[in-house]
Structure 1
Amino acid sequence: MSSPTNTTASSGDDFGTNSWLVEEMYERYRDNPAAVSEQWREFFSDYKPGDVPKDAPVAPTNGTGASRGATTAAASSGTRGVDDTFPMRRPANIVPTQEVVAPAPAALTAPSEPEPIRGVGAAIATNMERSLAVPTATSVRQIPAKLLEVNRRVINGYRSRTGQTKVSFTHLIGYAVVRAIVDAVPNMKNVFVADADGKPQLQRHTNVNIGLAVDVDKGGGQRTLVVPVLKGADTLDFLGFVNAYDDIIRKVRTNKLTVDDFQGANVSLTNPGTIGTNQSVPRLMVGQGVIVGVGSIDYPAEFEGSDERALNQLGVSKVVTVTSTYDHRIIQGAESGLFLKAIHDLLLGEHGFYEGIFRSLGVPYEAVKWRVDSNDLEGADLQAHKQMQVATLIRVHRVRGHLIADLDPLRWKTPRMPRELDPLTYGLTIWDLDREFATGGVGGVQRSTLGALLGVLRDAYCRTIGVEYMHIQNTDEQRWMQQQVEGHADNFTPEPMVILERLNAAEAFERFLATKYVGTKRFGLEGAESAIPILDAILNAAADNALDGAVVGMAHRGRLNVLANVVGKSLEHLFGEFEGHVDPHAVQGSGDVKYHLGASGKFQARSGALLPIELASNPSHLETVDPIVLGTVRAMQDQIEPAGAFSVLPLLVHGDAAFAGQGVVAECLAMSDTSGYRVGGTIHLVINNQIGFTTSPEYAHSSQYCTDVAKSVGAPIFHVNGDDPEACVRVAKLAFAYRQTFHKDVVIDMVCYRRHGHNEGDDPSYTQPLMYKAIAERRSVRKLYLESLVKRGTVTVEDAERILADYQAKLQSALDETRAQARATTKVPPPPKPVGVLPHVNTGVERGVLDRVFAAMNRYPDGFTVHPKLLRQFEGRSAMYENEGEVDWATAEALAFGSLVLEGSPVRLAGEDCRRGTFSQRHAVLVDYTNETKYAPLANLGTGAAKFWVYDSLLSEYAAMGFEYGYAHANPAALVMWEAQFGDFV
């Protein structure tokens, strides 16, 4: 049996529509080989111009040649082109006026003599002639474009806000074409070939290699067509398809297409709709199975003169006409029809088409869904009902809009649309988006289309800022907030260079310490650098408002960065603490850690105004500093006249787990508006890195947010995405304005991440492998913001890097000066001798019991993937136990727990991060490295064993310890333990 004829690299036949371009490149190569790229030179080394079959068929006339001749003759005979079958009659009552004499016609120029078509034109003509040998048929389908338009608007709104390029209709339709072939009618990618004897054969293709017809303006009124090929389109998700498509178009525009870019198409896509063509039946080139033509997106012609508002009321959609011109030798009409139906279904959102696109692009919202319209034009009751539903939708966005806000920089959880925020819940569909409704003044207008109204509401509550304020009882405060965020009464104008400079300083400081003091604990701010622009914006506003001072309280996370970049602590002094230059006679002595020390200074606003600022020393235990700061501020305010001016600003920085877990936070909120403790409102900044040491949010608090405790006193809460520094600065200014207007507490919940472990030596991937995989792939907020500013044209990369280099040079100079100083020596007293307090008790068990427990510790469920680093540790543990008969502390503890469980005594262990262990030593619960499923070996000791429970508690001591005491009292048979994490947490 003969095999299909192969096309060699030296033949122009494989290029189809692009053959003219090959001829043109060859002419350039022949004149000057250096004028083309090395790849083209290699291609032309054995190229034979005009290498096409000499017996290529020409178009059959079917009598049309005679018809054309007859038409030409008639047109040149001077006969008037008027149909006189029904002669026109002149009305009798019309009085003839003066005869209008038409101007004499201009002299006609005879056409030129026929001339040969050469070069590019000849190649195109040959291709078109050859295409006539392909017996084609065409299927046509008109598809509603409403959902396509709406989802594209959502996609491009998001991409515009994040500084990305727009997605075109051709991107979306082209991807639908590919998916329709792959998932519905794979035969569309096959092609007809003939073997050496001319016998017909079918060639099946695994991949969809789609040729993209691109119109090229050659200047001088000349246009031409190139069809580069996007290979393996079926292997790409939507983002990959868009990137590959755009890369090809970029090559076309910059004239950088290579030989390979023109070869291998088995499907083609042409979109003459971009120039207004409604429908196209393009030519199918030899070597392809189908070419898809896409028309313009517009209302059907019969509605072209209609009022668009009337069309919106009627629910008339714009449409796009898609044609499938296919090789009828291998593809049947039914298959072509099913292919177009598949495209139709996809563009109407079937089979999760738009959901997959949103997921691929990282759009943090659910895709809009297709629904049939319901709009009785004569039914007043229905219109009134819809109006009421719109009012409900407005209120629900004010109350619950934050639930769909784009708050998580990692976006590692699938976005969900709560029913109460979905317009479909209220009977409002995509058809209502262009219909007008009363708004009640939202956005400063009384009437608006539903689409515009939703735009205002979602810009206010559902972008990278989510606001909770409808729990506030005071309606004046509610209205104030609505005016600020819905109508942009705050008139926020970002200062990009200021923000970039602050981010530069924040990131450079952490990178500098990480480089110069490798492995040293510093509890860095990486992942939460936007906290520095937030604090800067608040203090800048406080200075411009002539406040008398600010007192800041915070724990260890980011404290050194705040000292250096906000409070203005001397860099030499700070580096001296890393070098060991500590004054032993200072109040705190020589033993306190550098990330607990305080400082005071003067903050200078950009206007030149100065604000005294103090960062209180941290009393080691989380959130203990909060009431100390409030007491300090009240004392300062009581010494300032007039009383009640609240001219000293308290500013507290919290961790997410501590804000929810530490009872002292709730106590401070409870005292915030009482006469003896009032300070005129505290601004709380929660650095929400979505983890507490190793404890995930679902174990750290029972509420939706870590900040829900603040609702108890009616404090507004601004949730903001930490990777949007402009949004962070905006909420900082709004929070300060609210505090100054109402003298109440206000909370900023900055959702971010922690790039490293709890400290720089900790590995968090033992317990959160998926989160830290996402973090490892995430670029820093400074780089992301710089990229967006470069795209906007606000700054160049060179300028930004120069600013960064200047700050790094400042740090290096301070370090050099510090290291030039002599280090003070201190004498540390020896530790006291240990004293025993309990008599010896024999607690030993049989070796067989220990072996059974140890075997269970090294047994995992089928398909469970242990963390690679942990697996190596366990292998070392096994070698030590089996060969040397020795165990470390953590293994001894596990053996003791296991032996008790086998003896029938239940064991319950709870505390902060105790499943893994504070020092990564216990690993009582293992986390699958690939999917984060959990497994506790000691809870699976087999038949007859008692229960073993181990829990990460919320970040609480007093309540958590009391709970375990109550549990132990009610279950004396169990060993109940509460682990004090660092020993000082009691």
Structure 2
Amino acid sequence: MKQSNPNQGPEVSGPETDPDEPVAPDSPYLAGFGINAGWVEELEDQYRVDAHSVDESWSVEFGGVVEPRAIRDGVRPSSPSAGPAPASANLAPLEPVSTPAPTDAVGARLPIEPTPEPDEIRGFSNDLPNGGMGGFDQGSAPVVPGADPAALLHQADKHARVLRLIHSYRARGHRIAQSDPLGGQSTYFPELDPAHYGFGNENLDEPFIAGDLPGGSVQTLRQILTRLGKTYCGPIGVEYTHVQDPGRKAWLRELMEEGQNFPSLDDGERHRILEKLASAELFENFLHTKFLGQKRFSLEGGESLIPLLDHIVENSPAFGIREVVLGMAHRGRLNVLANILGKSYEAIFSEFEDSPDIDVPFGSGDVKYHKGFSSDRRVATGERVHLTLTSNPSHLEAVDPVVEGRAKAKQVHAGDTDGETIVPVIIHGDAAFAGQGIVAETLNLSQLNGYCTGGTIHVIVNNQIGYTTTPSEARSTLYCTDVAKMIQVPIFHVNGDHPEAVIHVTKLAMAYRQRFGDDVVIDLVCYRRHGHNEGDEPAFTQPRLYRKIREKESVETLYLKKLVAGGRISREEADRIKKEHHDALREALQVIHSRPPGPDESYEPRGPWTGYSRTRPDEQVETAVAIERLAQIATGTAQVPSYFNVHKKLQAILDARAKCVAEGLAIDWGLGEALAFGSLLLEGTPVRLSGQDSSRGTFAHRHAVLVDQDSGEEYAPLDHIGENQAHFEVYDSLLSEAAVLGFEYGYSLADPSSLVLWEAQFGDFVNGAQVIIDQFITSAHQKWGRMSGLVMLLPHGYEGQGPEHSSARVERFLQTCAEDSMQVVNCTSPAQFFHVLRRQMRRRYRAPLVVFTPKSLLRHPKAASPIEDFATGAFKEVIDDPIAAARPEDVRRVIACSGKVYYDLIEERAKRFADREYEIAIVRVEQLYPWPEARLLEAFGRYDRAEARVWCQEEPRNMGAWTFVRDRIQAIVGDKVRLECAGRPEAASPAVGSPRIHRAQLQALLGEAFGLDD
């Protein structure tokens, strides 16, 4: 838990026992005859203050006591309200609003008949030993000498039932909360009915023990129901008793119950709410009339989102927050851009006009309601808050982990280890929050090391419909928010037509997030005034719902009426506010009609991206590292503290790595990667690697984190290889592809100076993150102008392991390659891998890098590199055949390939053509995209006398790189020679399950590659 600060409110310690648990008559809380001794003492003090404040049956028991116990013990009794400062001290003073009296709720809703007492005392069984007294002796252990045990038990049982009722309101009050502006909420829930506990109207003015309910330790049932009803059954419904931490529950409970869940706002705050509602509504109305029929995905019906977000931004400095990273879908996005981030009306209107003068300098561009934006907003106190709205696709909720990763990178860069100054805020839709699995994956990230951002404020714009799908069709849960209970965070359901309640909930959410560093969910229950888009007719499928919505006044109208009726604002002042906003909209439209828009500067690299080029450099970059430095790194990877107990087998591997460099032996893949990471770290480049089992490596080749065999302590040698080195991080991720890849992509958006890598357990599983790949990684630069240097490591290779452990789907990545969208490599040596990783960071250019990494080659003796290959040269996009290149005039067949199949080819060539290997040139295409045309021209030109040219791949012909390279290589070799393909037969599944068939297919494709009939 984070340390408290002045903005977090006082610390509230949790009770030793959970006060929210219902107290049964036979609970151990009830000592003696079912009565807690401390409770009796409190009741005694209450009796001494006012004898009529307790049930008359107790007067006999207390009659012989001369003075209150506290005074007798030398302590002055405090008033019921005395005690530690309430947790609400850090919020604005709270005041209740009028709600129906509990008398009406009890008497009118459900007639209550007196409940006859059964033969057995309620809650106790006469079958129990000693007449239900358990191990207590009725004659020897009375609470007060001479008391009637049955009467005491009956009285205790009534108090226990009241405590159960209090707990039910805390746990279930949301079931009848007035949180639906359309009035669709339930009005009755059995566990909230006093009759359920045996109480009727005649009990309303009886005093009962109220436990920790504010208002006194003893209150009448009427007082108890009034406070509980206002707190939990008004326009705010709260779910928080599922939170397992007692301290957090107690903190929330005190905040809410002290002020009965309603804010006390001054007129300035009320005017600001009205102004934001007016600006939100006028903006939508203006777009609707001026750009008729164009899609804008209106916020109408959910306008309270704008004052909610405005409150977060305006109050961020008071909580120590200096930056907010936002993510949201398309609904209401334009409104948020205009009224929260301050994107100019002119810029937004220009996008509606689709002016030919608008220059899209980087590719396809995107529709206006997908684009991101960032700004520095000056709040009322004069302080600045940086706002970032992350670009997103229409794939709902896909942006969630991207926002989290982006926020995490910003926090790390700022040294904000607890996430107190940079806060992610994600705005969801109700149907998507319940329906999209990536929501649960992202929530699961929230409390994990390496991914925690100190808490996210989730706001659900719950318009109670998903396109045309109703909630009953969209989810199996009671609320759209139920998935969030998995991480035990509070959930606030608030009526969007009660903007002051919305602001109160926002205050609670911010305070909770900052105090506990945890997520919090605001369910903004509202409605959608129009169809899914402005050209859609919702009454086709929801006629009754939209009949009701058409009759509803807007939230701005309702709130204005309330303020005018209360004398908080004049109608003239409200009209002035509206006129100012309307005039600004009208003038902005006139501006874009009178002059062409200027260049959009929002896409220029700024902040950490300053100095990075959008254009791929043609020149090579030096990536070699001196042997002395390589030796330092290799030695460092084998060193651990003296007390650290490394597994014996693993220590041998580490020692062998150090020996390889020291003695000039061949470097395998695991060491080659470590040398790349280590060299970058020593140059000041942080390295972050995450993925499933990435610390050790799926194939036990990395061992980046060592585990003490006795204590279980972890140690990362690469984080200790030199003074002033950069930080090395490696995380074993949760079992998710989509959320983790999205997180790392988001991280790379905010930190171009770090090498950020995501590794798939097997490349086959990368399609679990296909949305992240398609909508962000491969196209974000072309759509939104956003660069990323993310590296994806995808184990790929056919080794007879079946269709689920063979293919990273090379073809799918190549299909999306265009406009320098990314880089795709399939390296065949550790040195090549070393150089391509270093190239990724040494250039002032960033594009995603996809690396198809090996499995069987990790320890293949021929797939090792001499130390000289690391100390000289750079990454080679194409590697010529050293044997054939020595006698190019004798080459009769050229085989081009990429990746692991190269080693199958050279082995087969050595076996079949031992005395004339030079006749067959095997050219390795190490980089598939950007296509290395110039270097392939050079290689193929060297063998212009060859009679046959073949592309060889281990994948089926309808997969792999064949369809991508076919026309490109054919253009290089010309029309005189037809390019052939040697590969597995076309197939629906990427690989066979039978090792026998696998081997047969391999032999067949090798035969085709060499032109053999057998």
Q: TM-score, normalised on structure 1? A: 0.46
